[in-house]
């Protein structure tokens, strides 16, 4: 009978804990799946991942990890031989963990190509949060599902994640009860675009009324920060209501070059004459979320 999935820290296994092999992770449900990188599924979420160099496109910046999802690779060679899918059990699990703000235990194996990997065996890197998911064409030429995870554990002494968009980052201690779901950040350019549209959403025209005025959010089309490295410029930002911002960031809708809305939004994006969007950014967003 399969063991129950457990999210978050597991008593007795501290950050930095070393395992000789993956079987040691199973009795405690630390990582229940001996063969797969991702422990989890789309219904419950993913509770743990092992980084073991299985995918050539992984990136490990320490506090921030760009992780390639599961599937599409040859089990023998590890090479990508077909497209990955968001319906893959593990990939759907990581999406669920992102949407629900569930923590993911990250384990680095010695075969994982990173200066943070142990020389032999496996080492527990701590709790991370999935903050972004997108697709791209990997080095192999096949579609891969990618995730960005940032360190969100309890270890105050660790250097913090390199998160662009933050000038005045609010760093916060944790308690036992909560889970982060979503962080909205803003930039000076975001303030400009909101003023240009008088806080009206470019998709639905809504301006949220608050105590002393109106509220909207600046939404970068090509995200800032690794690995997307979009610009903080008017050509790369939209004025959206929070609902459409969530949808746009998750790829529920995208925008064609002629400004037609694609996916779960209908009609045309409203764009002011003074607002020149960079079409390569629109294409980047479409490509990231499977709009052809």
Where in 26-85 is the site for a copy of itself (CB under 8 A)? 42
Q: Which is nearer to a copy of itself, 21 or 213 (by Cβ)?
A: 213
Q: Which is nearer to a copy of itself, 112 or 148 (by Cβ)?
A: 148
Residues comprising the chain, all counted: 292
- Interaction of residue 170 with a copy of itself, rule CB under 8 A: yes
Q: Which positions from 129 through 158 interact with a copy of itself, judged by CB under 8 A?
A: 129, 131, 133, 150-153, 156
Q: How far is the CB of 21 from a copy of itself (least distance, A)?
A: 27
Supply the DSSP string of 24-81, one letter for each residue. Answer: GGTTTTSS--SS-SEEEETTTEEEEEEE-S--TT-EE-SSEEEEE-S-SB-TTT--B-
**Residue 282 contacts residue 255 (beta carbons within 8 Å):** yes
- Interaction of residue 191 with a copy of itself, rule CB under 8 A: yes
Beta bridge partners of 106: 49, 126
Q: Which stretch binds a copy of itself (CB under 8 A): 10-18, 70-78, 113-121, 247-255?
A: 247-255
**Residue 201 contacts residue 240 (beta carbons within 8 Å):** yes
Q: Which positions from 112 through 131 interact with a copy of itself, judged by CB under 8 A?
A: 127, 129, 131
Q: How far is the CB of 35 from a copy of itself (least distance, A)?
A: 23
Q: Which is nearer to a copy of itself, 36 or 207 (by Cβ)?
A: 207
Nearest one of 269, 261, 214, 210 to 238, comparing CA atoms = 269
Phi, psi of 74 (to 5 degrees): -75, 125
- Interaction of residue 211 with a copy of itself, rule CB under 8 A: yes
Q: Which positions from 260 through 289 interact with a copy of itself, judged by CB under 8 A?
A: 264, 289
Nearest one of 191, 26, 8 to 103, comparing CA atoms = 8
């Amino acid at each position: 009978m399969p063991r129950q999935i457990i999210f978050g820290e597991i008593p007795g296994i501290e950050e930095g804990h070393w395992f000789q092999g993956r079987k040691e992770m199973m009795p405690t449900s630390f990582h229940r799946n001996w063969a797969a990188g991702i422990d989890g599924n789309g219904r419950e979420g993913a509770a743990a991942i092992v980084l073991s160099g299985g995918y050539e496109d992984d990136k490990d910046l320490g506090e921030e990890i760009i992780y390639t999802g599961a599937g599409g690779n040859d089990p023998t060679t590890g090479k990508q031989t077909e497209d990955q899918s968001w319906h893959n059990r593990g990939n759907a699990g990581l999406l669920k963990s992102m949407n629900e703000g569930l923590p993911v235990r990250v384990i680095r194996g010695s075969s994982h190509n990173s200066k943070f990997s142990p020389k032999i065996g496996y080492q527990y890197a701590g709790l991370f949060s999935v903050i972004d998911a997108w697709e791209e064409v990997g080095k192999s030429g096949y579609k891969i599902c990618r995730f960005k995870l940032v360190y969100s554990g309890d270890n105050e002494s660790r250097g913090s994640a390199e998160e662009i968009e933050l000038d005045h980052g609010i760093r916060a201690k944790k308690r036992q009860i909560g889970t982060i779901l979503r962080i909205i950040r803003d930039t000076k350019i975001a303030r400009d675009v909101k003023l240009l549209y008088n806080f009206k959403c470019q998709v639905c025209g809504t301006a949220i009324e608050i105590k002393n005025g109106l509220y909207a959010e600046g939404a970068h089309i090509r995200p800032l920060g690794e690995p997307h490295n979009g610009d903080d410029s008017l050509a790369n930002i939209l004025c959206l209501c929070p609902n459409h911002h969530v949808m746009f960031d998750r790829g529920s809708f995208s925008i064609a070059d002629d400004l037609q809305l694609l996916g779960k939004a209908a009609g045309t994006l409203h764009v002011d004459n003074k607002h020149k969007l960079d079409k390569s950014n629109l294409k980047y967003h479409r490509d990231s979320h499977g709009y052809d």
